[in-house]
Amino acid sequence: MNLHIRILGPKIAKTVLLFDRSVAVANKYFPEAIVEISDNSNEFSEHSLLFLPILEVNGEAISRGKLLSEEELFVKFNSILPENERVVAVEEKKKKPVRKSLFRWPAVLAAAALLFFLSRYLNSGTDEAASKQPFSIADSVSREFNYSQNGKGFLITFLEFGSTNCVECKKMELVMDSMRQQYPKRVNVVFVDVRDHHNDSLTDYFKINLIPTQVLLDAKAQEFYRHVGYNPADSLSLIFEKQLNTSI
């Protein structure tokens, strides 16, 4: 279902700003939407300036006289779509210092980083400054998913960013199960729940804005594929096979 968004009102600052915000939201979340602005007085002459501009979506007025924020516009636009077509936006989060981010990672990554930190500290001698350097998320991702260095036998990492209460994400659960069964020793399937704040660092690092999102990493932890939305098992299998053939 496509969205046809129209802003009706005289071209004053309030009207133009609402139009600009609508365009920004459409470009980010609803790329197929059409956004228009009209100052044709025949379309709104019966309304007082207090009730202008008018925001219409698919011919229905959903707001009058309000300068909605981008967050409010996203909610209104999204609510018009059928439930199975709605976009799930990841809440924007403030970047937190890298020093703290390790404690919000899954336990396995935090433990690996901690062991590495301790080994450097014990072997550094008098080089105290070097031993206190914090680790970046990139370092932790590399240590966990760079199979050419950590000795794990996988060739691909399949990161599925999603949520347990998202319609499209639930469909991806079956796809993940299928990939685990089809590539048990070659593909490491990892589900990342973006609603779990322990995963904030990983979500921020991969710049996830919409879910579900699939990110594939090669054996050296380098991203080679990304897709937003539901991705059927047969399509992913083609991507996996192509990458696995190049890894031989």
DSSP string covering 45-56:
TTS-GGG-SEEE
Residue 28 lies in a domain: yes
pLDDT score for 96: 45
**Given pLDDT bands bounded at 50, 70 and 90, which one contains residue 110?**
low
Residues 80 and 104 in one domain: no
Q: Is the pLDDT of residue 102 over 60?
A: no
Averaged pLDDT, 192-220? 92
pTM of the model: 0.51
Q: What is the CATH number of the domain that holds 120?
A: 3.40.30.10
Residue 45 lies in a domain: yes
Domain that holds residue 200: 98-247
Averaged pLDDT, 73-87? 88
Residues 132 and 200 in one domain: yes
Residue 13 lies in a domain: yes
Residues 45 and 106 in one domain: no
Averaged pLDDT, 193-207? 90
Which phi and psi angles does 189 have, rounded to 5°?
-90, 120
pLDDT score for 121: 54
Residues 23 and 82 in one domain: yes
Long-range contacts of 95-99 (CB under 8 A, 24+ apart): 95/204, 96/200, 96/201, 97/134, 98/134, 98/135, 98/136, 98/137, 99/134
Residue 93 lies in a domain: no
| Final residue belonging to a domain, choices 86, 119, 152 | 86
Q: Do residues 157 and 206 touch, judged by C-beta distance below 8 A?
A: no
pLDDT tens per residue, range 56-67 = 999 889 998 888
Residues 131 and 47 in one domain: no
pLDDT tens per residue, range 27-46 = 888 888 899 888 887 777 66
Averaged pLDDT, 162-185? 93
pLDDT score for 31: 85
Averaged pLDDT, 122-129? 48
Q: Is the pLDDT of residue 229 over 80?
A: yes
Residues 161 and 239 in one domain: yes
Residues 66 and 129 in one domain: no
**Given pLDDT bands bounded at 50, 70 and 90, which one contains residue 105?**
very low
| Final residue belonging to a domain, choices 86, 110, 130 | 86
Residues 175 and 230 in one domain: yes
Domains identified in the chain, total number: 2
pLDDT score for 238: 96
pLDDT score for 118: 59
pLDDT score for 109: 56
C-alpha neighbours within 13 Å on the C-beta side of residue 153 = 4
Residues 217 and 106 in one domain: yes
| Percentage of the chain lying above the pLDDT 90 cut | 44
Residues 135 and 79 in one domain: no
> In terms of Cα–Cα distance, which of 109, 74, 104 is closest to 92?
74
pLDDT score for 136: 81
| Final residue belonging to a domain, choices 86, 113, 134 | 86
pLDDT score for 94: 44
Residue 41 has what DSSP assignment? Answer: G
Averaged pLDDT, 97-124? 52
Residues 58 and 134 in one domain: no
Residue 92 lies in a domain: no
pLDDT score for 183: 96
Q: Is the pLDDT of residue 246 over 50?
A: yes
Residues 70 and 161 in one domain: no
**Given pLDDT bands bounded at 50, 70 and 90, which one contains residue 52?**
confident
Residue 204 lies in a domain: yes
